[in-house]
Amino acid sequence: MKILGIYGSPRKQGNSEVILDEILRAAVDSGAETKKIYARDLNMSGCQECGGCDKTGKCVVKDDMQQVYPLFEEADVIILSSPIFFYGISAQVKAVVDRAQAMWSRRMLKKPREQWKNHESGRGYLIAVGATKGENLFEGVKYVAKYFYDALDMDYEGGLFYKGLERKDDAKNNPEIMKEAYAFGEKIVKGEG
Ligand SMILES: Cc1cc2nc3c(=O)[nH]c(=O)nc-3n(C[C@H](O)[C@H](O)[C@H](O)COP(=O)(O)O)c2cc1C
């Protein structure tokens, strides 16, 4: 099983990062092969809405995102992690999500309309953390994940969501969270996540 972890935080070793690290550590211990992308390190733009992918399903913008598309294609599982920034995901990882528009175009070109609701390229998960305890803190980002994975022809299977994490080490210093993250990685490999 090939698992791609997409790290959305600009903060190195912050909460969403250490949680995803722990999930991937468990996945490796359970026999999966993992790859990691750090959105903050990609030199790329958001979607230009140029329509360049409409007829070919390929993005015409030549930047670091071109290294990411093959990773999307080879992954059986993708796990996207992000801090909550103004009730959304970070701008860095939103650019990656928006550039999945080319994959959506490709899917529309390849799949007959009656199969648009079926997903055949694997499973996708979301890890999100926020500082506050807002009741609807994760509502928006769950939709982002659902439609991101839809573009990638993957089923969105939910994830882990933590409120009240603000300082960089809040997750790392919480053994319950780290334990839950490790168990989640094991479950994902077993197909139970
Ligand atoms: C630009 C910015 C916007 C934020 N917006 C929110 C928000 O809308 N709701 C919230 O609960 N926390 C918000 N936070 C707090 C972060 O989500 C929180 O500190 C989180 O733990 C950061 O995760 P990280 O360590 O993985 O980067 C914001 C932080 C920043 C820097």
Share of the chain above pLDDT 70, in %: 100
**Ligand 1 contact, 11 CB (< 6 A):** yes
Compute the distance between CA of residue 188 and CA of residue 172 in angstroms, rounded to an integer.
21
155 strand-pairing partners: 123
More confident residue, 24 or 115: 24
Compute the distance between CA of residue 163 and CA of residue 130 in angstroms, rounded to an integer.
5
> Which H or E run contains 18?
helix 15-29
Burial class, 148, CB count within 10 angstroms (exposed 0-12 / middle 13-18 / buried 19+) = buried
Work out which ligand 1 atom sits closest to the CA atom of 86: 8
Compute the distance between CA of residue 57 and CA of residue 105 in angstroms, rounded to an integer.
5
The arithmetic mean of pLDDT across residues 18-41, rounded, is 98
Amino acid 35: pLDDT: 98
For 32-133, where are the E strands, in sequence order?
33-38, 77-83, 123-129
User: How many helices (H) and strands (E) in the chain?
Assistant: 6, 5
**Ligand 1 contact, 84 CB (< 6 A):** yes
**Ligand 1 contact, 152 CB (< 6 A):** no
Share of the chain above pLDDT 90, in %: 95
143, pLDDT greater than 80: yes
Work out which ligand 1 atom sits closest to the CA atom of 10: 27
Residue ranges per structural domain of the chain: 2-190
Distance from residue 40's CA to the centre of ligand 1 (Å): 15
pTM for the whole structure: 0.98
For the chain, where are the E strands, in sequence order?
2-7, 33-38, 77-83, 123-129, 155-162
Distance from residue 122's CA to the centre of ligand 1 (Å): 29
The arithmetic mean of pLDDT across residues 145-172, rounded, is 98
Compute the distance between CA of residue 87 and CA of residue 181 in angstroms, rounded to an integer.
22
| Multiple choice CATH, 2-190, 3.90.420.10, 3.40.190.10, 2.60.40.1250, 3.40.50.360 | 3.40.50.360
Distances (CA, A) of 131 to 38, 60, 148, 154: 21, 37, 24, 29
Sign of CA dihedral 174, 78, 64, 51: negative
Q: Ligand 1: which of 85, 94, 144, 172 to mutate, judged by most atoms within 8 Å of the beta carbon?
A: 85
* Residues in Cβ contact with 54 at an 8 Å cutoff, skipping those fewer than 6 apart: 105
77-83 sheet: strands from edge to edge: 33-38, 2-7, 77-83, 123-129, 155-162
